[in-house]
Amino acid sequence: MLAYFLKRLVMAVPVLFGLTIIVFLIMAMIPGDPATAILGAYATPENVARINEQLGLDRSLPEQYFIWLGNMLQGDFGRSYSLNRPVIDEVLERFNATLILAGASLVLCTVFGLLAGIVSAVRQFGWTDRIVTFFVLIGISMPSFWLGLLLILVFAVNLRWLPPSGMYAIYGGGGPLDLLTHLALPAFTLSVVATGVVARLTRAAMLEVLRQDYIRTARAKGLSERRVIYRHAFKAALVSVIPIIGIQAGFVLGGAVYIETVFQWPGIGRMLVQAISTRDLLLVQGGVLVVAASYVLFNLMADMAQHALDPRLKT
Amino acid sequence: MTGFMRAFKSALAGLALAGLAAAGLQPAAAQTPPNVLIVGQIAEPKSLDPHAVTAVNDFRILMNVYDGLVRYRDGTLEVEPALAESWEISDDGTVYTFTLRQGVTFHDGSPFNAEAVKFNFDRMLNEDHPQHDTGPFPLAFFFSAVEEVTVEDEYTVTFTLNEPYAPFLSNLAYPTGLIVSPAAVEEHGQDFGRQPSGTGPFKFVEWESNARVVVERNPEYWEGAPQLEAVVFRPITDANTRVAEMLAGGIDLMVEVPPDNIAQFADDPMFQVYEQAGPHVWFLILNMKEGPFQDKAVRQAVNYAINKQVLVENVLQGTAEIAAGPTPPAFAWAYNEALEPYPYDPEKAKELLAEAGYDGEEIVFYVTEGGSGMLNPVAMGTAIQADLAAVGMNVTIETYEWNTFLGEVNAGLEGKADMAEMAWMTNDPDTLPYLTLRTDAFPSEGGFNSGYYSNPEVDTILEQARRATEPEERASLYMQMQEIVHEDAPWAFIANWKQNAVATDRVQNFELQPSFFLLLKDVAKQ
């Protein structure tokens, strides 16, 4: 188990390394440059050249890349020129915010997705199934940024129950309760699509398991229905649902880009959008690297959980 | 099975309870405290070092933390004394001697004097200065005419220019001319932008990334302490969210309100809407080097064919006024009142096109997706395309993201396009024509004359205006220039943007400035 884990970790290294090259090349290829972004209307060739020189962007591409790589391996991710602070400070601070948001949505989508999936599988074609499926399909189909705006309109502007944006109250805020009230709307919005996906797949997995012979055997033995579903069926279905949750973890990280913009959540998704539009290469590199590493890690964790649950995968 | 149903139901109930709990807590938190103004900004500031930034969004904070030697008089774009009490200009216009205000200290306690002024400009302009590496200073070229800054005595400082340069004073009033504390720069080095210190009405308290910048009252301010105890600047990049925060009571003042929302705020007695025309002009660059726009009649036809009234009223929903010429009316002292906008006259446009022998050649029109001061560029571009189609012009739109767009347009339109959208906001009537309408400002010369307009008369007038130190003389030269450019029509003159802001009814004494800066010194809040 440990050997497998380590092997997977080692395999992630070339992936991340390749990713930094791709990001670097894409940023070099897209038109526009940081100097133009900084100077705006005043971007004369002369001024652009001066800024590029000051930022070290007048060097050749490979040279720039290897300087960055060398520094990065020593733990120096460089300085963001659009934010004027070390990349690593910004990225870690932002990633922390994104983890809180994505973590909360992941919990929501797992709990509600599993519950909804099981309920509709157990009551297949019944009214509960139809109602749950109806809402699940609406959830999957609704663009999340639009849902976010609607929720802001209802709960923040009209009812004034929850704050419309930010992570903490701007004045006299702080504390877990303050965080929770700010987290409620974005976390819920971000979880909706993922909840739907988890629910649909749980339903399918449960239906398949419930048709198996051993379930009939369990029922024939006279076990209570609750025990059949929970002990026998759900555990088996979970094995195929867990990788899906792992994928959803990556999905909520990606989806956080829109949600963070709508709710002004100070996370890494919004940071990346700004970094790209200001052509802040070092910030993009640092951000993408952290997001990709965590994506790899989430999938690895899902695999581990699957290993632990599925006796067939034990070596 | 029933167990799952129970769990499902109780989870739903839990969610509802959480909602109710939040409901009980929130309304009190939505009320912002008295005498602390919370401002909704459009983005996180890049830096609080005034010499390192270029965005109006950052200037809005900086103008409250720092002072310059001079500033714009309230409600105008005319220069008046600030940290300098008075100044003299030599007859040849190359030596400016400033007498500084005495007894002023920076927020960090260090004294403001002639040495401090010299430090500020040397840091920006002199590559050998020990603190030059705290840059880059992208707008340092505003002062590229400065050859030397000399300390005459503790409170007298002289600027020697390498040639007469009349916009020098208004450049000093621009945020790039704000005076920072040398002691703080020496102490914090590259991090000065996050630990700023100036002489302004508000002192920096903290900058929490992506959440807020807080400044508090400077009780020792040389012009008297401000009313507000503190100001919190809060970045909210999404315009819809900014509006939602305003409606929910999370901010007291917001700028750059989307046109769609202005009416909603105007109808609500809880809010006050402010509007102020600024030194902004939105225009189309016409490529005079090749294609149909070589002919003046075709360029004038474009000006007649575009229904600017519809653009400013419908597309921009009243957030702009029709532009008459290249200089925005906000530069009241240099603006030619006699200039009338080209009227909307499609028949006249058709006549001019027929006269010029235009036969439906394709016109490539560069449109940007967004960008500073570009207002609603895609909708504007489409409406303009339709207006031109109505007089028989065959316009093809090519749309670019702002950064890419700037790269393409600033390099010149030759071989690429016949027409491009553009907008500028400047601080002196010299800047825009000097950088975009002179023969020596062709892109190949490092200027922004992307449409290759060349009129020797305009070139001469603009050079003369730079050398004129008497405001009246300068003004009359700019007025002449506007008449000639209006007639030559190197651009289609479209609109002058009105900046807007919305504040709650608790905010008092707030006014927008034509400079687009946000000055909060005299503002109060109940």
CB atoms within 10 A of CB A8: 15
A-B contacts at Cβ under 8 angstroms: 189
Residue B357 has pLDDT above 80, yes or no: yes
Listed residue (B47, B46, B43) closest to B236, CA to CA: B43
Task: For residues B298 and B304, give the distance between their C-alpha atoms in angstroms, rounded to a whole number.
Answer: 10
Listed residue (A232, A255, A222, A225) closest to A106, CA to CA: A255
Model confidence at B23, pLDDT cuts 50, 70, 90, reads very low
- C-beta atoms of A38 and B54 within 8 A: yes
B114 vs B93: which has the higher pLDDT: B114
pLDDT per position as a tens digit, B248-293: 888 999 988 888 888 889 999 999 999 998 899 999 999 999 999 9
Model confidence at A315, pLDDT cuts 50, 70, 90, reads low
Closest-approach residue (CA) in chain B for A230: B1
Q: Which of A161, A167, A173 sits opposite B23 (nearest CB)?
A: A161
Supply the mean pLDDT for chain A: 85
Mutate to test the interface with A, among B144, B252, B406 (most CBs of A within 10 A): B406
Task: For residues A311 and B369, give the distance between their C-alpha atoms in angstroms, rounded to a whole number.
Answer: 55
Which residues numbered 217-276 in B keep a CB inside 8 Å of some CB on A?
232, 234-238, 240-241, 244-245, 247-251
Task: For residues B271 and B273, give the distance between their C-alpha atoms in angstroms, rounded to a whole number.
Answer: 7
pLDDT for residue A314:
60
pLDDT per position as a tens digit, A21-38: 998 888 888 777 778 777
Closest-approach residue (CA) in chain A for B233: A170
Listed residue (B296, B302, B328, B503) closest to B421, CA to CA: B302
Q: Which of B244, B247, B406 sits opposite A43 (nearest CB)?
A: B406
Residues of chain B with CATH 3.90.76.10: 66-187
Mean pLDDT, residues B127-141: 87
Mean pLDDT lowest for which of B240-249, B344-353, B414-423, B504-513? B240-249
| HEC-encoded secondary structure of B394-418 | EEEEEEECHHHHHHHHHCCCCCCCC
Residues of chain B with CATH 3.40.190.10: 1-65+200-252+506-526
Mean pLDDT, residues B404-410: 85
Model confidence at A313, pLDDT cuts 50, 70, 90, reads low
Distance from CA of A181 to the nearest CA of B (A): 6
Mutate to test the interface with A, among B12, B17, B25, B26 (most CBs of A within 10 A): B26
Distance from CA of A10 to the nearest CA of B (A): 34
- C-beta atoms of A264 and B38 within 8 A: no
How would you label A15-29 residue by residue, b for 16+ Cβ within 10 Å and e otherwise? eeeebbeebbeebee
Residue B300 has pLDDT above 50, yes or no: yes
Residues of chain B with CATH 3.10.105.10: 280-498
pLDDT for residue B27:
39
pLDDT per position as a tens digit, A232-264: 888 888 888 888 888 888 888 878 888 998 898
Supply the mean pLDDT for chain B: 90
- C-beta atoms of B43 and A274 within 8 A: yes
Outline where DSSP puts E strands in B93-190: 95-100, 146-153, 156-161
B66-187 fold = Dipeptide-binding Protein; domain 1 (3.90.76)
pLDDT for residue B418:
96
Task: For residues A267 and A256, give the distance between their C-alpha atoms in angstroms, rounded to a whole number.
Answer: 8
pLDDT for residue B9:
47
pLDDT for residue B20:
41
Distance from CA of A32 to the nearest CA of B (A): 5
pLDDT for residue B21:
43
Task: For residues A49 and B169, give the distance between their C-alpha atoms in angstroms, rounded to a whole number.
Answer: 27
Mean pLDDT, residues B7-28: 43
Given 3.50.50.60, 3.40.190.10, 1.10.357.10, 2.70.50.30, which CATH number is that of B1-65+200-252+506-526?
3.40.190.10
Q: Residue B181: phi, psi to the nearest 5?
A: -80, 120
Tell me, yes or no, if B8 comes closer than 8 A to chain A by beta carbon.
Answer: yes
Mean pLDDT lowest for which of A148-157, B108-117, B195-204? A148-157
Which residues numbered 378-417 in B keep a CB inside 8 Å of some CB on A?
401-404, 406-408, 410-411
- C-beta atoms of B29 and A162 within 8 A: no
Cα→Cα distances A254→A9, A59, A250, A291, B452, Å: 22, 33, 6, 9, 45
Partners of residue B8 in chain A, C-beta under 8 Å: 115-116, 119
Mean pLDDT lowest for which of A34-48, A247-261, A263-277, B310-324? A34-48
Mean pLDDT lowest for which of B95-109, B209-223, B236-250? B236-250
- C-beta atoms of A170 and B30 within 8 A: no
**H-state helical runs in B66-127:** 114-125
Mean pLDDT, residues A182-195: 92
pLDDT for residue B17:
41
pLDDT for residue A243:
82
Mean pLDDT, residues B375-392: 94
Closest-approach residue (CA) in chain B for A45: B446
**Got the DSSP string for A244-293?**
HHHHHHHHHHHHHHHHHHHHT--SHHHHHHHHHHTT-HHHHHHHHHHHHH
Closest-approach residue (CA) in chain B for A115: B8
Residue B158 has pLDDT above 90, yes or no: yes
Task: For residues B518 and B234, give the distance between their C-alpha atoms in angstroms, rounded to a whole number.
Answer: 14
Partners of residue B29 in chain A, C-beta under 8 Å: 163, 169, 172-173, 178, 181
Q: Which of A164, A180, A274 sits opposite B241 (nearest CB)?
A: A164
Model confidence at B15, pLDDT cuts 50, 70, 90, reads very low
**Amino acid code (one letter) for A56:** G
Strand-strand pairing, A79-80 and A85-86: antiparallel
Mean pLDDT, residues B143-171: 94
Write the class of the CATH domain B280-498: alpha beta
Asked if residue B312 lies in contact with residue B318, where contact means CB atoms within 8 angstroms, the answer is yes
Tell me, yes or no, if B205 comes closer than 8 A to chain A by beta carbon.
Answer: no
SS3 B109: coil
pLDDT for residue A128:
85
